[in-house]
Amino acid sequence: MHYISTRGAAPVLTFGEAMMTGLARDGGLYVPQSVPVMVKAEIAALAGQSYEEIAFRVMRPFLGDTFGDDEFRGLIAAAYAGFGHAARAPLVQMGPNHFLLELFHGPTLAFKDFAMQLIGQMMQAALAKTGERITIVGATSGDTGSAAMEAFRGLANVDLFILYPHGRVSDVQRRQMTTPSESNVHALAMDGDFDDCQARVKDMFNDFAFRDGVRLAGVNSINWARVLAQVVYYFSSAVSLGAPHRAVSFTVPTGNFGDIFAGYIARQMGLPIEKLVIATNQNDILDRALKSGAYTTDGVKPSISPSMDIQVSSNFERALFDAYGRDGAAVAQLMAELKAGGFAISQGALQMLRSTFASGRCAEDETINTIRHSFATTGEVLCPHSAVGVKVAEENLGPTPMITLATAHPAKFPDAVEQAMGQRPALPLRMADLFDRPERVTRVANDLAALQSIVRERTGR
Ligand SMILES: *Cc1c(COP(=O)(O)O)cnc(C)c1O
């Protein structure tokens, strides 16, 4: 199994190499050279299996010889052992033909735990074989950083630094990043906003002497290994509702297009998915693009579903690669045009995208109303991101069962929930002491040299 870049001009890599590389050297994203297909009988045989067993069977064909079978089973078991629900990704019913896939039972209460926990285990296992040590630096607006802290804390061959904008993440998100006590993980509160944090991380990657010196690696959402881990819950939920004998549709609250792209891979593998519905908040570049064919950027408007506040969805490049017949040069050209403000999607590509994806947008007041209405009619308390999904799903209901992905626990975004319901949601019991644990964080200036010296000093390189 080999991986190629969406821009067609980077080395072909194995799974293990693609995981460690992240962004391809030509600026593209790695995708499988061909997607393995599961035949109907193989999909049917997933019914009734544990989440871990389904994870093994769905992901194994993508791995080549990076891990042995028993080794990979062990990594999966370790990744999901810390989840607060035996089903890992349980389904609850919202209406006659509408289901909610709860992806917030992981250690940091957001779906990012599914991929981050597994990539932590896989990176550690791969590094342990060579004795290498790497340094991971990432920027976060909240959920990614906390998921990475939980996933990498205590791992022997990794040092992790997370930059978050000082004063601009929720109390729960901050505490999830500052309370892990292991000495290999470091929370850095930087003066500035999320874009500043991201810019400094990019600067570190572009300083090749520094990058090679500390063995820098990334785990942002374009990493193929993260996408792959997210394919699994499309299978586990669809099979629970009768796949492969019955088709299902999914609605996915979307930001960087990583989560919904995993659904696209599941569909290519043979899972009968009728429609994948993109749900956006007021940052609706994807909804506009699918409806009009014009992919044009517009400044970010901060919303009450902040994990979906994006200007450009980086993983959309992977869907464009297929829509343009896997022509890397054509994708490179589009991305160059995007830097100048946008591009028009060709008729052929648009037709291909519309045959798989539908889309909808949810305004701020609709998000609040959906939280209130869902609680009144089902008792389910939604986080604002999941509410965006439920609202858009309701506009797309039909004879095919609809599964909406619930991407975070409501207690992670208590202000929006309180605004809707007049009451703050409680943290799950297993983390009720989050506000009593000691915090450990370093306040840093928005200054590359200062950041680099902290990383060098703490890693001893
Ligand atoms: C990251 C995130 C999203 C968006 O997921 P993408 O893969 O970037 O599309 C949605 N909801 C929550 C709670 C998130 O943390």
Q: Report DSSP letters for 38-79, one per residue.
A: --HHHHHTTTT--HHHHHHHHHGGGSTTSS-HHHHHHHHHHH
- Among 111, 260, 390, which is best to mutate for testing ligand 1, by the most ligand atoms less than 8 A from CB? 111
- Domain boundaries, position 302: 91-106+225-421
The mean predicted confidence, pLDDT, of the chain is: 95
Q: What is the residue with the minimal CA distance to atom 14 of ligand 1?
A: 307
Model pLDDT, residue 23: 85
The CA-to-CA distance between both ends of the chain, in Å, stands at: 35
Say how many Å lie between the CA of residue 147 and the centre of ligand 1. 12
Tell me, using a 6 A CB cutoff, whether residue 256 lines ligand 1: yes
Residue type, 155: L
| Locus of tokens 């090749």 | 208
Helix (H, G, I), strand (E, B) or coil at 179: coil
144 and 218 Cβ atoms separated by less than 8 Å: no
Percent of the chain with pLDDT over 90: 88
pLDDT digits (tens, 9 = 90+) for 299-329: 889 999 999 988 888 999 999 999 999 999 9
Q: Indicate if the pLDDT at residue 142 is higher than 90.
A: no
> Which H or E run includes 274?
strand 273-280
Quick check: 267 and 419 in contact, CB under 8 A? no
Query: What pLDDT does residue 405 have?
Result: 98
Which of 164, 219, 256, 283 maximizes ligand 1 atoms within 8 Å of its Cβ, making it the mutation to test the pocket? 256
Q: What residue's CA is closest to ligand 1, atom 2?
A: 307
Cα angle vertex 228, ends 224, 229, to 5°? 120
Summarize the confidence of residues 376-399 as an average pLDDT: 98
Instruction: Kindly state if the Cβ of 113 falls inside 6 Å of ligand 1.
Output: no
Residue 253 CA to ligand 1 center (angstroms) comes to: 7
The C-alpha atoms of residue 18 and residue 11 are separated, in whole angstroms, by 10
Cβ(254) – ligand 1 distance below 6 Å = yes
As a whole number of angstroms, the distance between CA 46 and CA 282 comes to 38
Q: How far is the CA of 308 from the centre of ligand 1 (A)?
A: 6
Rounded to 5, what percent of the chain is helix, strand, coil? 45, 15, 35
pLDDT at 193: 86
- Name the residue of 100, 261, 307, 404 whose CB sits within 8 Å of the most ligand 1 atoms, as the mutation to test its pocket: 307
- Per-residue pLDDT at 69: 98
Q: What is the mean pLDDT of the segment spanning 236-247?
A: 98
Which ligand 1 atom sits nearest the alpha carbon of residue 383?
Answer: 13
Count of domains in the chain?
A: 1
Could you tell me if the CB of 307 is within 6 A of ligand 1? yes
Of 40, 112, 202, 291, the active-site residue reads 112
Nearest Cα neighbor of 35 from 320, 235, 326, 269 is 269
Evaluate whether residue 140 is within a structural domain.
no
Q: Is the CB of 236 under 6 A from ligand 1?
A: no
Q: Which residues pair with 216 in a beta bridge?
A: 135
What is the average pLDDT across 340-355? 97
Q: Each residue of 147-183: pLDDT tens digit?
A: 999 999 999 999 999 999 999 888 899 999 999 999 9
Asked if the model's pLDDT at residue 274 lies above 90, the reply is: yes
Assess if residue 189 is contained within a domain: no
CATH, residue 245 = 3.40.50.1100
CA distance 160 to 148: 8
Q: pLDDT tier at 133 (50, 70, 90 boundaries)?
A: very high
The CB of 286 under 6 Å from ligand 1? The reply is: no
Half-sphere exposure of residue 273: CA atoms within 13 angstroms, side-chain side: 32
pLDDT of 360 reads: 98
pLDDT at 439: 97
Catalytic, 301? Answer no
Q: Which of 256, 367, 252, 258 is nearest to 303 (CA)?
A: 367
Atom of ligand 1 at shortest range from CA of 252 = 9
Judged against a pLDDT cut of 90, whether residue 449 lies above it is answered with yes
Inside any domain, residue 385: yes
Candidates 407, 409, 412, 413: which one to mutate for ligand 1, based on the most atoms within 8 Å of Cβ?
Answer: 407
C-alpha to C-alpha distance for 157 and 333, rounded to whole angstroms: 38
Q: Are 323 and 280 in contact (CB under 8 A)?
A: no
- Is the Cβ atom of 409 under 6 angstroms away from ligand 1? no
Q: CB of 131 within 8 A of CB of 166? A: no
Q: Is the model's pLDDT at 202 over the cut of 90?
A: no
Does residue 95 form part of some domain?
Answer: yes
* 328, part of any domain: yes
- The pLDDT assigned to 391 comes to 98
Q: Which amino acid is at 398?
A: G
Q: Which amino acid is at 206?
A: N
Judge if the beta carbon of residue 259 lies within 6 A of ligand 1: yes
Sign of torsion over alpha carbons 25, 28, 33, 35: positive
pTM of the model: 0.96
pLDDT of amino acid 141: 82
The percent of residues in the chain predicted with pLDDT above 70, rounded, is: 100
308 lines ligand 1 (CB under 6 A): yes
Distance from the alpha carbon of residue 109 to the mean position of ligand 1, in angstroms: 12
Q: Which pLDDT tens digit goes with each residue over 65-74?
A: 999 999 999 9
If one counts every other C-beta atom within 10 angstroms of the C-beta of residue 112, the result is 31
Q: How far does the centroid of ligand 1 lie from the alpha carbon of residue 254, in Å?
A: 6
Q: Cis omega (within 30 of 0) on the bond before 244?
A: yes
